[in-house]
Amino acid sequence: MRVFVTGASGFVGSAIVQELLAAGHQVLGLARSDASAQSLQEIGVDVLRGSLEDAEALKEGASAADGVIHTAFIHDFSQYAAAAATDKRAIEALGSALVGTDRPLIVTGGILIVPSDGGIITEADAAPATHRASEATAMALAEAGVRASVIRLPPSVHDQGDGGFVPFLIDLARKKGVSAYVGDGSNRWPAVHRLDAARLYRLALEKAATGQRYNAIGDEGIPVREIAELIGQELQVPVVSVSPEEASNHFDWMSRFITFDSPATAIQTREILGWEPVHIGLLEDLRLGHYFG
C-alpha cells in the first residue's frame, strides 16, 4: 500500500513511517522544510513539499495514495484555537480527495478533551466538536462517504526525543526550582509508548474501519502527582502543590491541561485490531534518565 503521511518527520509520524516501511508499505511524506524532506528521502520515503495550510498539496498527496495517516499538528499551545482551526481545514482537505474511494483516512485526535465524568474513557465516548475538532471532523467525513477513523493519543506519547507535555513539565521544574501539581494531584493522565502507538496506526490503516474510534492507551491513568514526584526526584527539587487559582500563573498554557482527569482504556481497540502495547510505561521510561539528560 502507498500511504500518504502528514507529520512524517515528526516525533510520532517518524515512528509510523518506520513501522509502515518495515511492514512493506510505501510512504509519501509531507515535508514543509528542506531538512524534513532530506531526512525522509534518506530512509526511502517519497516527498511531497507542502504544509497543513496548503490544501491543494494535501489533496494531491491523498489522491496519490492508497491510504492516508494524518498526524501533523501545529504544536503552538499559546495559539491553540488557530492550530485547531488549521487542523480541521487540513482534515477536510484530505477527506475531500477520498470521498467515495474506499481508501482509508486515519486522523489523530486526543484523549484529554474527551469528557470522563469521573469514569474511564472508552472508545464509545465521543470527543466534543469544540476546541480541537479532529475527531468530530473525521466522524463527519465518515458520514459523508470517507473511510475515516480516529486514533486518540494520550497526553504523553513517550520515548527518546519526546517534545511534548512531560518535557515541558521537566523544563518548568528546572526553571522554577520546584516540580508542581495542582491540588492533591490525584487527577490521572494516560500514556503510551511511541512505538506502540506507531503499530496501532499501521493496524488501523490495514484494517480500515469507517467511523471507528481507537484509544492508543498503554498506561490507563497515572496520577499527575506521581509524575511530578518522579520529576522532583530526578532533578532534586522540591515537589509542591499549587492551588487551582495559582495554576495559570505557574503552568502558563499548560494550566488548561494539567488538571484534566482522563483515565482511559483501550479494551475495544485491542479486541478489534489485535493490538497489544509491549513497550515500557511512562514512569519506567522517565527512570531511564534520557528525559533529564
Domains, in order of start, for the chain: 2-158+191-220+263-280 (3.40.50.720), 165-187+222-258 (no CATH)
Residue 108: the pLDDT is: 97
- Would you say residue 240 has pLDDT above 80? yes
- Would you say residue 83 has pLDDT above 90? no
Region 101-113: mean pLDDT is 95
Angle, CA 190 vertex, CA 288 and CA 214 arms, to 5°: 120
> What is the pLDDT confidence band of residue 129, given thresholds at 50, 70 and 90?
confident
- Would you say residue 115 has pLDDT above 90? no
- Would you say residue 78 has pLDDT above 90? no
Region 125-139: mean pLDDT is 89
Give the span between the Cα atoms of 173 and 153, in whole angstroms: 24
- Would you say residue 173 has pLDDT above 80? yes
Question: Beta strands of 130-212 (E only): which ranges?
Answer: 147-153, 156-158, 179-182, 188-193
- Would you say residue 99 has pLDDT above 90? yes
Alpha-carbon torsion angle 8, 9, 12, 15, nearest 10: 90
Q: End-to-end distance of the chain based on CA atoms, in angstroms?
A: 39
> What is the pLDDT confidence band of residue 7, given thresholds at 50, 70 and 90?
very high
Angle, CA 71 vertex, CA 196 and CA 198 arms, to 5°: 15
The amino acid present at 253, given as its one-letter code, is W
Residue 139: all three cell numbers together: 466522524
Give the span between the Cα atoms of 32 and 94, in whole angstroms: 17
> Residues 19, 198: contact at Cβ < 8 Å?
yes
The answer, as to whether pTM is greater than 0.85, is: yes
